[in-house]
Amino acid sequence: MVEQTIIDRLEKEVDVLDRHLEVFVLVWQAEPIGIVKLSTKTGLPHHKVRYSLRVLEEEELIEPCSAGATTTDRAEEFVETLNDDLATVIDTLDAMKISGSKEMQSV
């Protein structure tokens, strides 16, 4: 078995976050929406959509209803701050980059 590097794990986490956000945006745009329709629109298997919905529900961004998933009041705040929050993470990752200089290698 090939061992995962810390970067591989980070990439996997980013992929999962991307999937959660894709599902969230579809709920936001087409609520109420069910698992089958979300799966069809995203091309993701039902179990992955179901997991993303569970995570989004735990974050109190969506809630289930008889017609599928709908967003909560907290979703509006999430959308308003999302780009700034992602920019902060990107800045943090940029700050982690190591230059090829000898001075940086000795740090």
81: containing domain: 6-97
- Please count the structural domains in the chain: 1
86 domain residue, yes or no: yes
| Separation of alpha carbons 83 and 21, rounded Å | 12
- pLDDT for res 4: 77
- pLDDT for res 25: 97
What are the average pLDDT values for consecutive 10-residue runs of the chain, which has 107 residues? 82 97 97 97 97 98 96 96 96 84 55
Phi/psi at 10 (nearest 5 deg)? -65, -45
Phi/psi at 63 (nearest 5 deg)? -145, 150
Token pair recorded at residue 78: 């999430």
58 domain residue, yes or no: yes
